[in-house]
Chain A
Amino acid sequence: MNQKITFPELVNAISESTGYSKHLSEEFLKEFFSLIANTLASGENVKIKKLGTFKVVEVDARKSVKVGTGEEIEIPGHKKVSFTPDKELAEAINLPFAAFETIELKDSVTDEMLESTDDQPLTDDISTEVKKEVAPPLPLTEWDAEDDADDIDETKDDIAPESSETPDEGDDITQSDLDNIADYNDIEEDDSIIIAASENIDIETTSDDNETNATTESIDSVDSESAEERPSKTVEISEQRIIETPISEASINQESTSEESDSQAIAAERESSKNSLQSDIDSNEETTTRRKGFLPGFIWGIVASLAVFAIAATAIYFVNPQLFNIDSEASTQSTQIVSADNLATDSATTITDTAQGSTSEEKVIMPDTKPSDEVVYDTISLTRFLTTMAREHYGNYHLWPYIYEENSKILGHPDRIRPGTRVVIPSMEKYNINPDDPECIKQAKRKGVEIYNRYKK
């Protein structure tokens, strides 16, 4: 950084990079630059590949003022050397700022605004990014996992907040599931989504376990305190779970049988819901064995209902085994919904409502996204670039690489697009564009750099 490379250092570096001896490198450098100097002195320009062009430029005579005395003098005309670096070399050196582009200023931008921003050309961009990061992003599946973790903490303290938390969690999940479904439609990113979804399932199941552990812990603590009200409450919760789970599953089953075309996604849903239910049953059995000494009547009722449910589930499995064969990505939805709903202490009807609501929402969205990519066109002109279009259609000019990618067949270098070129503006869903997500913007920037790198060779 800001070091001065002397001649011997340069000789060493060159002999290292070329593999020739230092002696030869030194001789070469001396001859090379003396030849260039002599050629320039004779008034000829020198063009060197991969380095640049040395030119001799005539400077006209001009009048000036002597600094000390203020006396007017005339500087006589002379020649000077000008150097233009090779394009490749210049781009390599400008690499840190390669992502920036010339922007047209709108008339609404006043001079005062420019003056205020002039001092911070680089920080401006960064600060907006930071602001976006501070702003709460849309609930993603990762966030759900975090929410669950929060819930676990709260359940350890008290059971009541858990019931108040879970409806929120359910909302979050439905939203994130809609995202997932949008992803599901995206063919290009299919694989990654599958991975993400399977990860989600893992997260969900583990968090489920944690939650059940937490509840059993709370039961233990309550036992030691020998309070009568609270244990009964927890048992109520677990009982409700069992009552609710068949209902929610039955509702999903109904939905799926009516919609055979969507069978893939919903079958997967069902499988996962079954899995989660099974795990719930296991955990419930755990809790019931712990509670046996206290309230045997409740326990036997629970065990009986469990047995009935298990038989029903196996019966369904044997009747329609092919429905359980597919493991798919959309499964997170029902896992999350069922696990979230089971914990809620609200009435069973509202829970089945949410389960039904989310599945029906899914059906509404699935056909919606497909026709929504009706083709939008725009035309490049001297004042309309890909960045301008990205700002108009997506709300952020950094997202231009997606437009470029969509039209990469007809476009060459992104800076040399002919005016009049008609480009397709892809829908936001196609590339999963979200202008409010700083991560998405970063990805777009990386993509932009990659596009420029394509034309470097």
Chain B
Amino acid sequence: MDNKTLIEALSKRLNRNKTEVSNMIDGLSTVIKDHCADMDTVAIPGFGSFEAKKRLERITVHPQTGKRLLVPPKITLSFKPSALLKQKIK
């Protein structure tokens, strides 16, 4: 399901127009961004939690050239599905 169909389905369910729904999604993404940039965890009951995780630097080997590369440390946004969602998907 792509972004367009998701917004359409949501606007039908909420009885709101599409711009309102897309504004909501934008708001949600900025809130998640702001909180995760502060290394906070955003938890959504029944769905999962969005969490910023620090990854240490590491050394990888380029499969084609065989050169060793030092990958720098970074912060990634990870999603941890809740038990309920896991059960649902299984």
Contacts and interface: CB of A to CB of B under 8 A. Distances in A.
Pair from one complex: yes
Interface of A: 1-7, 10, 13-14, 17-18, 20, 24-25, 27-29, 31-37, 39-41, 44-52, 54, 56, 78-83, 85-86, 89-90, 92-97, 100-105, 109, 114, 118, 121-122, 382-383
A14 B10 contact: no
Contacts of A104: 67-70
A6 B65 CA distance: 47
B14 A28 contact: yes
A383 B74 contact: no
A349 B29 CA distance: 75
A101 B74 CA distance: 10
Contacts of B70: 102-105
B68 A83 contact: no
Given A2-B39, A89-B32, A35 B75 contact: no
A81 B44 contact: no
Contact of A31 (B14, B33, B78): B14
Given A80-B81, A95-B37, A105-B67, A37 B1 contact: no
Interface in B19-37: 20-21, 23-37
Contacts of A118: 57
B31 to A, nearest CB: 5
A93 B37 contact: yes
Given A93-B52, A105-B68, A5 B42 contact: yes
Contact of B25 (A3, A34, A51, A122): A51
A231 to B, nearest CB: 67
A440 B76 CA distance: 30
Given A89-B29, A92-B33, A383-B65, A6 B14 contact: no
A97 B13 CA distance: 41
Contact of A10 (B21, B42, B90): B42
Given A33-B44, A104-B70, 11 more contacts: A17-B27, A17-B31, A20-B23, A29-B28, A32-B25, A47-B1, A48-B6, A49-B25, A89-B29, A102-B71, A114-B59
Nearest to B41: A4
Given A39-B1, A89-B32, A14 B6 contact: no
A14 B35 CA distance: 12
A78 B90 contact: yes
B44 to A, nearest CB: 6
Nearest to A13: B31
B73 A28 contact: no
B27 to A, nearest CB: 4
Contacts of B33: 89, 92-93
A306 B48 CA distance: 88
Dominant secondary structure of chain A at its interface with chain B? mixed
Contact of B44 (A10, A17, A46, A90): A10
B10 A94 contact: no
22 contacts: A2-B39, A2-B41, A3-B40, A6-B43, A27-B14, A28-B10, A36-B47, A39-B1, A41-B89, A46-B1, A48-B25, A50-B25, A51-B29, A83-B79, A92-B37, A93-B36, A100-B72, A100-B73, A102-B69, A104-B70, A105-B70, A114-B59
Contacts of A94: 74-76
Question: On chain B, which size bracket covers the interface?
Answer: 35 or more
Contacts of A121: 56-57, 72-73
A24 B27 CA distance: 13
A381 B65 CA distance: 12
A113 B36 CA distance: 34
Nearest to A41: B88
Contacts of A95: 37
A24 to B, nearest CB: 8
A33 B40 contact: no
Contact of A81 (B23, B32, B89): B89
B74 A97 contact: yes
B6 to A, nearest CB: 6
B25 to A, nearest CB: 6
Contacts of A27: 14
A118 B74 CA distance: 15
B40 A2 contact: yes
Contacts of B37: 92-93, 95
A307 B22 CA distance: 84
Nearest to B81: A81
B20 to A, nearest CB: 7
A29 B14 CA distance: 11
A34 B77 CA distance: 21
B74 A100 contact: yes
Contacts of B45: 7
Contact of A35 (B10, B23, B31, B42): B10
